Amino acid sequence: MQHVFVYGTLLFPEILEGLTGRTFSVQKAELYNFKRLRVAEGDYPAIIAAEGESVSGMLVLNVDARSMELLRFYEGEDYDCRKLEVKLKKQSVFAHVFTWNNDPGLLTESDWNLKNFEQHFLQDYIRYVVPETVAEFTKLFS
């Protein structure tokens, strides 16, 4: 089992559980020396290295191999899955983190807005993006 640091759409249990079919324990966590930005042509964020910055998120605990593969598929080719140190309240742990690997020019200068996503895009993700992702993953890998 492995841990995953999430900082964007996967912060919503409806998306994480919808993709994996599982409920996970989570803890608040912080990733240092990275910053979160909105993808310019998207409704989701990316993180890039940025000395002195930090990203707040959640540490998803004990993610099984199949769920990890589904999350990699969901994140797509624009993200690398890297093992990085994240800070919890009283300790640091290593976790898988999806970091942007595409052109930084495709990112805005502003942070992704969680509340805006929740108000304007979450229901579409629950209704369309999640089931379509699971169906495509199942078709390709079952």
Q: Which pLDDT value is given to residue 24?
A: 98
Radius of gyration of the chain (CA): 14
Q: What is the DSSP letter of 39?
A: B
Sign of CA dihedral 40, 103, 67, 7: negative
Q: Which pLDDT value is given to residue 69?
A: 97
Q: Which pLDDT value is given to residue 113?
A: 97
Render pLDDT for 98-122 as a digit per residue (tens, 0 to 9).
999 999 999 999 999 999 999 999 9
Better-predicted residue by pLDDT, 22 or 1: 22
Q: Which pLDDT value is given to residue 140?
A: 95
Render pLDDT for 84-93 as a digit per residue (tens, 0 to 9).
999 999 999 9
Q: Which residues contact 71 (CB under 8 A, 6 or more apart)?
A: 4, 10, 19, 20, 63, 98
Render pLDDT for 2-59 as a digit per residue (tens, 0 to 9).
999 999 999 999 999 999 999 999 999 999 999 999 999 999 999 999 999 999 999 9
Q: Which pLDDT value is given to residue 1?
A: 86
Residue 76 and residue 136 in contact, taking contact as beta carbons nearer than 8 Å: no
